[in-house]
Each structure stands twice: as structure tokens, then as C-alpha cells.
Amino acid sequence: MKDMRLSFEAEMTGLEPDDWLARLEEIADDLGYFEPLGKGHCAAFLDAGTNLLVTFESIEPIQKFNEAAEPRGFHYAKHEGWSHLAIISEGDSWYRDPAIYRYFDRLIDDGFFEDFDNVLFHGVHGGGYAAAAYSVAAPGCTVLAIRPQATLDPRIAGWDTRYTAQRRLNFTDRYGYAPDMIDAVNHAYIAFDPLQRFDAIHAAMFTRANVTPLRCTGLGNRPDAALNAMGVHHDLIVHAMDKSLTEEEFYDAMRARREYGPYLRTLYAQMIKTGHPVMAANVCAYVLRREDDVFFAKKLQELKNEGHAPSKPLKHSAA
């Protein structure tokens, strides 16, 4: 089998946004194409193998959170040989721009997506919304949307008191209501933390039979960052691409939470909040059996002072 992995050095760290975009254009022009989409968006395509990863990302989070300040798909173009289409936003636009509509219309007319064996639409937050909304352009594709919104139309999602500025965006025209756009996808995976009330309500609006909810309980309002830190995000993308991702596989992967400090702190806080001090003590003891931790040592001592000891001692006495 021909090796379709692309070999290039992106060199995108430490750049100002305009310089970062200029570098993205250089790379895409060399390996595929680059196309501005209106004032605040662009498309960058890397031409490689017959798997296509379509991502929706904003410049600031890419520079702040992504490895080497690269669009997420660059890793897969270099290491997996996947083709990559990155739709890049200069701000929190939820990708609601007629220029993007026209671009996807043209891809449909050109039969662009038909050239690939597998197509995965992926995004986080507003990019997760867009991944679901624009997936209608590629029937039979797969969607992996992390913490997506169904819409910000205040007539439907007026209960969501966040993103007040973005409510003025038009969510009623083409590619608008994300749950309606996934009818023709092979499968859509909607990942969210059910403890985040607004995120959970949005996720519940994706009700089609081809949807699998992936409950990232305790990972907070940046589940993508937690999945990255746990080493899970990459595997989810790979298995979603080859259509082998299952709920069982996801929850097996989520066992990594047991070694993830922020999750354990969230679990401790949840036990305190819901009136389960012994369970909170058990969380503290679980961490302290593995390693020294000032936070959990302090909290366990406080709980012991209140008469709430863990179910099992930290150390077993010698016989």
C-alpha cells in the first residue's frame, strides 16, 4: 500500500494571527489549496490519502491549545496519511457565513466528498456545531462533535444564557439547525459532560437514531482539553474515522479519568455538594494511595476531623 503520509514542517508556533494565517496559506498552497471564505474564514486543504478529516477550528484556540499551534488535522496528514480540510475562523462565529454555505455548495456540486473512502467531520464547541451542521454536504460521513450546540437561535435556545452576542447570527437559513443536518450521516457521536446543564440540553436535542451520546461525566466545560490530557482524543478520532467507535470502547477509554487530577477534584467536589462525605473521603484516599497530593491530604484530614473516614484505610497494618 502506498504511503500517503505528508512530510512537512509547519513551524507555526509563536506567530501573530496574521503571520499564522500567512503560514497556513503557504502550507496549503504547497500541499493542496487555500481559499479565503468571506472576511473572517478560510479553507485549507491538504491532499493526501482516501480518508478525509474535516475540522472546524478558530485561530486563538489552535494557537493556545493545539500541539505546535497547528490545525488538528495536520497531525493526521503527517502520521496517518489522511487528507485534511480545515475550516478556520478568526473568531467565535459558529461558522455562520454565506461564503461558507457557498463553499460547501460548490464541494457538493463538484462531488468532492465522493473521492474519499471515509469522511469524518470533527469539531469542538462552535466547531462541533459546525461539524454537525455542514455534515449534510457529505452523506454517509461520520460526525464526532464535542460539546456542540444545536443552535443559538433564541427562539429555540433562549434558555441558554451564554453567547448573547452570537444570538444575532442567523441560525435559520441554510445549514442552520444542526440536529436536522445529520439525517444522512453514517453516525454522529455527540460528546458532552452531562453535569454541564446547558451542554447537556443541547446534546439532548440531537435525537436521531444514528446518534450516539458520549457522556464525559466530570470533564467540565472543556472536555476536549481533558480528553487530550488523558490521551483519549486521538483514539476517538481514529476509531470514528474507521467506523469502529462504540459506546463500550468509549467508556473503556474513559477509565483514564481515574488517573486525571482535574476529574478527581471534580468528583470530590460533587460528593461534597451532594452530601456524601464518606465517598468524598474515599476519593481522597484513592488518590493518596497512588501518590502524595497536598490538596487531597488536606481535604481528607478535614473530613476525618468531621468524623468521615474513608471506607478503607490509606495503609494496611502489618499482620
Question: Taking the domains of the chain in order of start, what are their residue ranges?
Answer: 17-258, 261-305
For residue 316, the model assigns a pLDDT of: 52
The predicted-structure confidence for 34-62, as pLDDT tens digits, reads as follows 999 999 999 999 999 999 999 999 999 99
Quote the pTM value: 0.92
The predicted-structure confidence for 122-164, as pLDDT tens digits, reads as follows 999 999 999 999 999 999 999 999 999 999 999 999 999 999 9
**318 pLDDT exceeds 50?**
no
**298 pLDDT exceeds 60?**
yes
The predicted-structure confidence for 235-281, as pLDDT tens digits, reads as follows 999 999 999 999 999 999 999 999 989 899 999 999 999 999 999 99
**1 pLDDT exceeds 80?**
no
* CATH no. for 17-258: 3.40.50
Which residues face 37 on adjacent strands? Answer: 41
Distance, C-alpha 220 to centroid of its chain: 12
- From the list 49, 92, 86, the residue with the least C-alpha distance to 241 is 49
**Cα–Cα distance, 96 to 114 (Å, whole number):** 25
